[in-house]
Amino acid sequence: MTERSELQPDQNLAQDTLAQDFVQFAVDCGVLRFGEFKTKAGRLSPYFFNAGLFDDGAKLGRLAQFYAQRLLASGMQFDMIFGPAYKGIPLGTALTVELARLGHNVPFAYNRKEAKDHGEGGTLVGAPLKGRVLIVDDVMSAGTAVRESIALIQASGATAHGVVIALDRQEKATEGGQDVNHSAVQYVRQQLGLQVCAIARLDDLMHYLEQHKGSDLQDVQQKVRAYRERYGVNE
What are residue 34's DSSP bridge partners? 47
Query: Are 60 and 149 spatial neighbours (Cβ–Cβ below 8 Å)?
Result: no
157: left (phi over 0), alpha (psi -120 to 50) or beta: left
For residues 87 and 15, give the distance between their C-alpha atoms in angstroms, rounded to a whole number: 25
Q: Which of 40, 104, 113, 116 is catalytic?
A: 116
Is 38 a catalytic site residue?
Answer: no
For residues 233 and 187, give the distance between their C-alpha atoms in angstroms, rounded to a whole number: 12
Query: Are 67 and 162 spatial neighbours (Cβ–Cβ below 8 Å)?
Result: no
Q: Which of 118, 161, 207, 212 is catalytic?
A: 118
Is 118 a catalytic site residue?
Answer: yes
What are residue 111's DSSP bridge partners? 124
For residues 19 and 131, give the distance between their C-alpha atoms in angstroms, rounded to a whole number: 30
For residues 5 and 80, give the distance between their C-alpha atoms in angstroms, rounded to a whole number: 8
Catalytic residue set:
116, 118
